[in-house]
């Protein structure tokens, strides 16, 4: 009897391990908002995360991300870098994906930019 309880206990631990390792289900993302505002939402994401290196004075790699025109002109490259986690860089010039000082850009911010792009990158 004690041997059977031992096997049942081991089996329960195995099942618990399988369940705890499965990916949590997330809710479906909300559809893009039609009213994402460049001036108050999108621009602030770039100002807070990108202009340390990409401003009028520093313009690392010749890229400026301070205003509507410069953001639109560089949006494809910027988004590929942001989604890959290679931007932004920390103060030691380490990409976010390998940095202990900063995090990669939050998915909600990336989704907000994607929605703005999907809705025609309006300057509003």
- For the stretch 17-68, pLDDT in tens is 555 554 444 455 556 766 789 999 999 999 999 998 999 998 899 999 999 9
How many Cα neighbours within 13 Å face the side chain of 78?
A: 26
Q: Which of 47, 45, 23, 49 lies closest to 108, judged by CA?
A: 45
Q: Which two three-digit tokens encode residue 5?
A: 């309880």
Task: Encode burial over 24-48: b for 16+ CB neighbours within 10 A, e otherwise.
Answer: eeeeeeeeeeeebebeebbbebbee
Q: Which of 29, 2, 9 lies closest to 118, judged by CA?
A: 29
- pLDDT, greater one: 72 or 11: 72
């Amino acid at each position: 009897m004690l041997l059977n309880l031992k096997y049942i206990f081991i089996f329960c631990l195995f099942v618990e391990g399988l369940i705890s390792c499965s990916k949590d289900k997330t809710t479906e993302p909300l559809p893009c908002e039609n009213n994402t505002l460049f001036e108050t939402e999108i621009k602030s994401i770039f100002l807070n995360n990108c202009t340390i290196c990409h401003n009028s004075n520093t313009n690392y790699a010749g890229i400026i991300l301070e205003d509507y025109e410069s953001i639109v002109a560089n949006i494809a490259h910027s988004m590929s870098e942001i989604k890959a986690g290679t931007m932004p860089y920390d103060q030691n010039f380490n990409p976010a994906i390998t940095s202990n000082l900063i995090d990669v850009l939050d998915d909600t911010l990336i989704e907000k930019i994607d929605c703005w792009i999907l809705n025609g990158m309006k300057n509003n």
